[in-house]
Amino acid sequence: MIIHVVRQGDVLWRIADYYKTDIDSIVEVNALPDPDRLLVGQALLIPTGDNIYTVRQGDTAWKIAQNHGVAVQDLLWENRILNPNNLYVGQKLIIPEKPKPEIEVNGFTYILGQDAVPVVNQVGDLLTYLTPYAYLIQGNGNLVPIDDEAAIGEAIAHGAVPMMSIVNFTVNSAGENVANMVLNNPETVNILQNNILDIMRDKGYQGLNIDFEYVLPEDREAFNRFIESTVDRLHSEGYFVSTSLAPKVSAEQRGLLYEAHDYEASGRLADFVVLMTYEWGWRGGQPRAISPINEIERVLDYAVTVIPRDKILMGFQIYARDWTLPFVPGQEAETISIEDAMDRAYAHNAQIQYDYVAQSPFFRYSDEEGNAHIVWFEDARSAQAKFDTVKEYGLRGISYWGLGYPFTQNWVLLADNFDIRKL
């Protein structure tokens, strides 16, 4: 795949002709609603079809290598070219094949019941784990049931391992009191672990994700003991355990979301961890990139010092947010899919802009009432930046939050970059 950024005057048939591919392929991999409409600044994936490239006017060996994601030395060696300045228009070059790293991919889905079937069916072949979200713990150790059978069945049909998820919070409750009640009562912990095992045996789960958030700082050690005892019990029955961790940049980071999350302990005790590297641009906050790469790298720089790299799944959100401007505290942004975001950009003929520090696209528009808006979203460039980060840091893989928001480019690029491990 090549990423082409639309310029003023670009039309699809000329882009297809330039890259020696067909219009239908470009439309398909980008989920374009109308092939006759392109936006300046829009990132398009271009399927090249094979590894033969025809040199064009203005090409250099460096430019060709960069566009295809290969080293210029490999390109020259593959074609037995001694002098890179001797390329000529019309020359056929063999693009070296890139070995793909193998990673694991998790997808959280809070779309449940029969509605989960088409969601999982669409991307299940690219998942190592499917995690229906989520069983809510209660103060007595019981779990609120969810309608997850259809999602589990569809995951298994695609060779994805079902991973159970437990949480202590809801949209309206931070959950610190429930966590405090459970974590400090050994009898309640035992009841909770028994309930987890009963559900896993009954429904076919093969592993557990512990997503406890807003745990009180004074419950940090109790939380670590809970992780350790849960790992011991589940390992004895052949199950794996992962934890979800807030995006910390140091062990001393303060705040209810961070202090009880012990990166070193989770990295040592759990089979792997999910770093929730998203929500900088959260729905109640100032408009900004939702998962900016510069912030993700700060988290990873700390994480890899205390957690083995082969235990880290980097979080990646696949939705967009639309903020009304000027920002007013207490006014929430609208969460929409990437493709809904593009529909709004088309509707208002918006120019797509790109923040190269955050590695994230955005655009502005005015609605019918004259209100100004800014939309931060993801595209092929920002997805590729995250995939490059996974490679650069040598991580175990990626965890998506959350399935059900259409983002065709992501899944095409994911398969182009990686082989997905199936267990």
Question: Same domain for 206 and 311?
Answer: yes
What's 126's domain CATH number?
3.20.20.80
pLDDT at 49: 67
Question: Same domain for 67 and 21?
Answer: yes
Q: Which residues contact 59 (CB under 8 A, 6 or more apart)?
A: 87, 89
Residue 236: count of CB within 10 angstroms of its CB: 8
Residue by residue, pLDDT tens for the chain (423 residues) are 889 999 999 999 999 998 889 999 999 999 999 999 999 999 999 998 667 888 989 999 999 998 887 889 999 998 999 899 989 999 989 888 878 999 999 999 999 999 999 999 999 999 999 999 999 999 999 999 999 999 999 999 999 999 999 999 987 777 889 999 999 999 999 999 999 999 999 999 999 999 999 999 999 999 999 999 999 999 999 999 999 999 999 999 999 999 999 999 999 999 999 999 999 999 999 999 999 999 999 999 999 999 999 999 999 999 999 999 999 999 999 999 999 999 999 999 999 999 999 999 999 999 999 999 999 999 999 999 999 999 999 999 999 999 999 999 999 999 999 999 999
176-183 vs 186-203: helix crossing angle, rounded to 10: 100
pLDDT at 23: 95
Residues β-bridged to residue 258: none
Last residue in a domain, options 36, 59, 94 = 94
Question: Same domain for 68 and 154?
Answer: no
Cα separation of 411 and 231, whole Å?
Answer: 32
Question: Looking at the domain assignment, is residue 381 inside a domain?
Answer: no
For the chain, the domain total comes to: 2
Question: Same domain for 189 and 221?
Answer: yes
Last residue in a domain, options 46, 69, 94 = 94
Question: Looking at the domain assignment, is residue 329 inside a domain?
Answer: no
Does 221 qualify as catalytic in the annotation?
no
What's 13's domain CATH number?
3.10.350.10
Question: Same domain for 69 and 111?
Answer: no
Helix (H) or strand (E) holding 123: helix 116-123
Question: Looking at the domain assignment, is residue 157 inside a domain?
Answer: yes
Q: Which residue has the tokens 């398969």?
A: 415
Last residue in a domain, options 43, 70, 94 = 94
Question: Same domain for 181 and 36?
Answer: no
Question: Looking at the domain assignment, is residue 371 inside a domain?
Answer: no
Spatial contact of 316 and 398, defined as CB atoms under 8 Å apart:
yes
- Catalytic pick among 104, 154, 176, 213: 213
Question: Looking at the domain assignment, is residue 166 inside a domain?
Answer: yes
Question: Looking at the domain assignment, is residue 14 inside a domain?
Answer: yes
pLDDT at 19: 87
Question: Same domain for 130 and 18?
Answer: no
Residues β-bridged to residue 88: none
For residue 57, how far is the Cα from the chain centroid?
A: 37
> Which domain, by its residues, includes 77?
2-94
Residues β-bridged to residue 360: 355
SS3 398: strand
Kindly report the pTM of this predicted structure: 0.90
